[in-house]
Amino acid sequence: MKLQRKVYIAGVGETKFGRHEVDFDVLGRAAALEALRASNIDRPTMVQSAYVGNGTNGMVTGQTVLKDLGMCGHLPIINVESACSAGGMAIHLAVRDVAMGLADVAIGIGCENHTLHMAQGTAFATAMSDIETVHGAVMTGKYAMRAQRYMYETGATAEDLAMITVKNRRHATNNPYAWFKGEISVEEVVRSRVVASPLTLQQCCGIADGAGAIVVCSERMVKKLGIDKPILVAGSVVRSGPYHNRPRDITGDDITEETAAQLYEESGIGPQDVNIVELHDAFTIAELLYYECLGLCPKGEGLKFLRDGNATHGGKCVVSPRGGMLSYGHPIGASGAAQIAASVKQMRNQCPGYQVDPVPRVAMTHVTGGGLSGTEHAACTMHMLVSDW
Amino acid sequence: MSDQKPNKKPEKKPDITFFHPDLLEAPADGRAPYLKGYRCKKCGQLDFPKLSPCPSCWGEEFDVVPLSRQGKLYSFSDNFIGQAGMKTPYSFGYIDLPENLRIFAQLEGEPGSFRCDDDVELTVGPVRDNRDGVPLISYKFRKLNSR
Ligand SMILES: [Zn+2]
């Protein structure tokens, strides 16, 4: 869907990610309030629509988040669920409202608390009505199969995959919002316990809690609010995952490739113009494959792209400058929103100690969602953001 | 079971109803089990598992086609952290059949013993416990000639 009028990000908010004693609604409210205040919005009635992404915390999550901010009653609050893509999708819907002229100010929120509600030592699975789930499928194992095949076909090693964790944790070293950060060696990553062969614990994102929120508004409103560093939403795309029950190449990712192609077309911005990317690095292998799927490098050259230092500071495109999911952990409903919040802060030069230099002008975010049998992912949400000052 | 005493709970026995009869045929006469493919009578598309209506043409009539019992292990993983309630480790993989179908299934065999492109064959065995704690029997694959 090409955006029909200009949409800007006015303000963003995010909580620290990690294990929280407070539930999803408190986290979501904190991120929302931060985003609203950063947008110079000083009363609840200015917001005209709200979308709240959440994966697992139950019903009417959005109203639960927003009622204590005085935001229930005058505006529609719509709850959005698409597993790991829920947060990104909530932002997409807020963008749509502004693009279509349904609102001049809308908010998208992603929030999740897993650790208060989930059994320890278990892995995410989808509904028991799913044929793969009945047979034991878990997300870790499904990504591990992609890694297994990639290593078999390319000769990549466990040490190669481990470099992704090492890079992203290093990026996050001084990021106060990240959970797992700082120096870790390739050996430590490889030697950590095997979760789903060939993936070890340090190659999997942690199960975490957190929230992110984004306020979007029209061109007229961004001026009225006096936002001095407006971020243009140059593209916002959501797609659903095609169904297959036939042999296919799982070292590619059809839904990511299709979503990226649509985003590039609609935004008029190509992969070579993108300065930073936050992508769905829930597992090391994913980031490696997505270099290729997103067109950051040619097919088959993901490993070279990484080894040549093109995915880090000083390279062609800094991938996961906030540290990615491998550093933040992955509260499934929150991550898509937090990626955008972190990218906006990079573009506004608000990341002391982990700021990309030169300050990025073009940022892209990518979040997939859901393990549904026969699809690589049930959903994919991507955004293209451009500095407009 | 005829000598069951009224106060004694019947002993739990393995659940012999397969996960879904549309998926797997295990003939009572001892012939080898097979997966059931469904060929759409209207457009000819062959699917597993059964999709009704046919996702290609919405046809609702199908011929049941026994699928090959052997295939190639496209990829796999040995899982040491699994679904809540499932004993670990357990292995699963994608098996590509000559009918141009890919099957997700558990693998029978030791973790660490599988390789991509291994030849594998269909077998039948427990895949998990059901809610009553009795084994749920379904299709699995194992390395060819492993028995
Ligand atoms: Zn048909």
The H-assigned helical ranges of A39-138 are: 61-66, 86-99, 131-134
Chain B hits for A134, CB-CB cut-off 8 Å, are 19, 127-128, 136, 138
> Chain B: nearest CA to A162, how far in angstroms?
17
CA angle A316, A320, A325 (to 5 degrees): 160
Q: Tokens standing for B103?
A: 């099957």
Q: Is B27 left (phi over 0), alpha (psi -120 to 50) or beta?
A: beta
Beta sheet of A362-369, edge-to-edge order: A77-80, A49-53, A105-112, A210-218, A7-14, A231-240, A379-387, A362-369, A276-278, A318-319
| CA distance linking residue A381 with residue A255, whole number of Å | 10
Q: By the 8 A CB rule, do A108 and A88 touch?
A: no
Sign of CA dihedral A171, A176, A179, A181: positive
In sequence order, what E strands does chain B have?
24-25, 34-40, 46-47, 62-66, 70-79, 90-97, 101-108, 119-129, 135-143
Per-residue pLDDT averaged across A142-163, rounded? 96
Quote the CA–CA distance of A110 and A14 in Å, as a whole number: 9
For B76, which residue in chain A has the nearest alpha carbon?
Answer: A145
Tell me which DSSP letter residue A32 carries: H
- Burial zone of A375 (CB within 10 Å; 0-12 exposed, 13-18 middle, 19+ buried): middle
* Residues with pLDDT less than 50, chain B: 1-6, 16
Residue A299, token pair as written in the block? 């097919």
* Chain B CA closest to residue A199: B77
pLDDT in tens, A174-225: 999 999 999 999 999 999 999 999 999 999 999 999 999 999 999 999 999 9
What is the Cα A241 distance to its own chain's centre? 17
Q: Using the beta-carbon criterion (under 8 Å), do A194 and B101 form an inter-chain contact?
A: no
- Please report the ipTM that was assigned to this predicted complex: 0.91
Provide φ and ψ at B2, rounded to 5°: -70, -25
Report residue A305: phi and psi, to 5°. -55, -45
What's the mean pLDDT when you consider all of chain A? 95
Rounded to the nearest 5 degrees, what angle is found at the Cα of A67, between the Cα atoms of A61 and A72?
100
Q: Which DSSP state fits A350?
A: -
Question: Are B83 and A122 an interchain contact pair (Cβ–Cβ within 8 Å)?
Answer: yes
What pLDDT score does B85 carry? Answer: 83
Contact between chains at B77 and A247 (C-beta distance less than 8 A): no
Chain A residues in contact with B45 by the CB 8 A cut-off are none
SS3 A40: coil
DSSP string, A252-310: S-HHHHHHHHHHHHHHT--GGG--EEE---SBHHHHHHHHHHTTSS-TT-HHHHHHTTT
pLDDT the model gives residue A111: 98
Q: What is the pLDDT of residues B60-102, one digit of tens each?
A: 999 999 999 999 999 999 999 999 889 999 999 999 999 999 9
Which residues of A participate in catalysis according to the annotation? 84
Hey, is A159 helix, strand or coil?
Answer: helix
Short-list A124, A76, A146, CA closest to A287: A146
Q: What is the pLDDT of residue A36?
A: 98
Three-state DSSP class for A160? helix
The pLDDT value given to residue B19? 60
CB A148 within 8 A of CB A197: yes
CA distances to A167, A306, B83 from A319, rounded to whole Å, are 9, 10, 31
Q: Are B86 and A136 inside 8 Å of each other by CB?
A: yes
- Residue A212 pairs in a beta bridge with A14, A110
pLDDT at position A97 over 50: yes
Q: Which of A48, A318, A116, A333 is CA-nearest to residue A213?
A: A333
Q: Which two tokens stand for residue A324?
A: 């990615």
User: Kindly report the CA angle at A385 between A384 and A387, in degrees rounded to 5?
Assistant: 150
For residue B141, give the chain A residue with the closest CA. Answer: A135
pLDDT of residue B1: 40
Interface of A to B at Cβ within 8 Å reads: 119, 121-123, 125, 131-138, 140-142, 144-146, 148-149, 152, 193-199, 243-248, 250, 373
- For residue A123, the distance in angstroms to the closest alpha carbon of chain B comes to 5
Whole-number Å distance between alpha carbons of A171 and A178: 10
Task: Count how many Cα atoms sit within 13 Å of the Cα of residue A172 in the half-sphere of its side chain.
Answer: 28
Mutate to test the interface with B, among A246, A289, A372, A373 (most CBs of B within 10 A): A246
Residue of A89, A112, A111, A93 lying closest to A102 (CA atoms): A93
Give the minimum alpha-carbon distance from B117 to chain A in angstroms, rounded to a whole number.
Answer: 9
Distance of CA B12 to the CA centre of its chain: 22
Q: Could you report the per-residue pLDDT of A3-42, keeping only the tens digit for each?
A: 999 999 999 999 999 999 999 999 999 999 999 999 999 9
Angular region, A101: left φ>0, alpha ψ -120 to 50, beta rest: left
pLDDT at residue B4 in the model = 43
Q: What is the pLDDT of residue B18?
A: 52
